[in-house]
């Protein structure tokens, strides 16, 4: 009797062990496949996001806007790197599934987009609009990402800036009458503001940190981005300006062969020297002054380079 009882018990134990192994293998396999699927989703969404943003960089329209809806609440992780001729931008996306963030190591990298958005960017819907940056010739369309689930209230903004922002059609932009919990961007000193813009000194203060800007495009960049990403993106844009100055200088020699001299050859060398010695956004003023001088010379020249 006891021997039979033991045989039955060991049979059940053996069966349970095999069942547990199979069940563990099935759970492991499902989790592994889920991880692979999440990685694929992150890569697909990242690639699609870049593809949607690409027309903003190449288009001729200024302040053009697109709306991007993500399948689930997502985090956009932003990486900006300065190595290489043009630097590089990297984006990785985390998705919130069943109240848990899926973290993958998939990064989408590109050299030809200049994105301004904060390091902590979590949303399900994005507004993106672009604006041309010139110094003195067109350098690039820079792109700003706006969280469509938040409100941005612009207080005492000049009429031209207010009109431009209204023309984007972005419905989370408010003016003067700020809703509760809105992000307040003030063009005057106000302790209740999240961001302060000083147009006279061309500075934007956000989260206690101040950045300098030249032109409305970089002003928006400083408003919608944190300081670290702003400074890096500006430097990437200026690296592109450096390479474009070489192209325009070559073009000036081409015009000379056609009997049309360009008086800008010396200025190209000067602006590249300034770009080579660039440290941070405080150096933008000197570059902008020379760019304005170059633009004036170009307009009055016999043959225009841009």
Q: By CB neighbour count within 10 A (0-12 exposed, 13-18 middle, 19+ buried), where does 33 fall?
A: exposed
Which pLDDT value is given to residue 261? 75
Write down the pTM of the prediction.
0.81
> DSSP readout, 232-281?
HHHHHHHHHHHHHHHHHHHHHHHHHHTT---TTHHHHHHHHHHHHT--SG
Which pLDDT value is given to residue 134? 93
Rounded to 5 degrees, what are φ and ψ at 166? -65, -35
Which pLDDT value is given to residue 58? 63
- What does the pLDDT look like over 135-149, one tens digit per residue? 999 999 999 999 999
Listed as ranges, residues in the chain with pLDDT below 50 are 1-8, 10-40, 42
The overall longest dimension of the chain from CA atoms, in Å, is 115
Average pLDDT, the chain: 83
Containing 210, the helix (H) or strand (E) segment is strand 209-212
Which pLDDT value is given to residue 229? 96
- What does the pLDDT look like over 264-298, one tens digit per residue? 888 999 999 999 999 999 999 999 999 999 999 99
Which pLDDT value is given to residue 164? 95
Residue 89 to residue 79: CA distance in whole angstroms: 6
Please list, in sequence order, all residues whose beta carbon lies within 8 angstroms of the beta carbon of residue 246, skipping any fewer than 6 positions away. 268, 272
């Amino acid at each position: 009797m006891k021997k039979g009882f033991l045989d039955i018990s060991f049979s059940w134990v053996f069966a349970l062990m095999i069942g547990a192994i199979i069940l563990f293998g099935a759970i492991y396999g499902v989790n592994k496949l889920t991880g692979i699927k999440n990685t694929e989703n992150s890569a697909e969404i990242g690639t699609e996001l870049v593809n949607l943003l690409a027309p903003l960089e190449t288009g001729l329209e200024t302040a053009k806007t697109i709306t991007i809806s993500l399948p689930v609440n997502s985090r956009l992780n932003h990486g900006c790197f300065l190595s290489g001729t043009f630097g590089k931008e990297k984006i990785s996306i985390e998705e919130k599934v069943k109240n848990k963030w899926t973290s993958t190591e998939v990064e989408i990298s590109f050299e030809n987009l200049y994105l301004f958005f904060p390091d902590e960017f979590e949303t399900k819907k994005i507004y993106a609009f672009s604006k041309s940056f010139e110094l003195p010739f067109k350098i690039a369309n820079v792109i700003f990402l706006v969280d469509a689930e938040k409100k941005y209230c612009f207080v005492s903004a000049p009429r031209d800036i207010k009109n431009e922002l209204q023309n984007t059609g972005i419905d989370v932009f408010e003016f003067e009458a700020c809703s509760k919990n809105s992000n307040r961007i003030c063009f005057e000193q106000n302790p209740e503001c999240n961001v302060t813009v000083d147009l006279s000194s061309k500075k934007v203060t956000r989260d206690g940190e101040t950045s300098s800007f030249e032109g409305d495009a970089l002003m928006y960049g400083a408003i919608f981005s944190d300081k670290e990403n702003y400074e890096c993106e500006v430097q990437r844009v200026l690296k592109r300006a450096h390479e474009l100055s070489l192209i325009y200088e070559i073009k000036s020699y081409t015009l000379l062969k056609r009997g049309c001299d360009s008086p800008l050859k010396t200025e190209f060398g000067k602006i590249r020297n300034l770009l080579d010695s660039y440290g941070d956004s405080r150096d933008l003023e000197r570059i902008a002054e020379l760019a304005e001088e170059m633009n004036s010379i170009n307009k009055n020249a016999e043959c225009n380079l841009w």
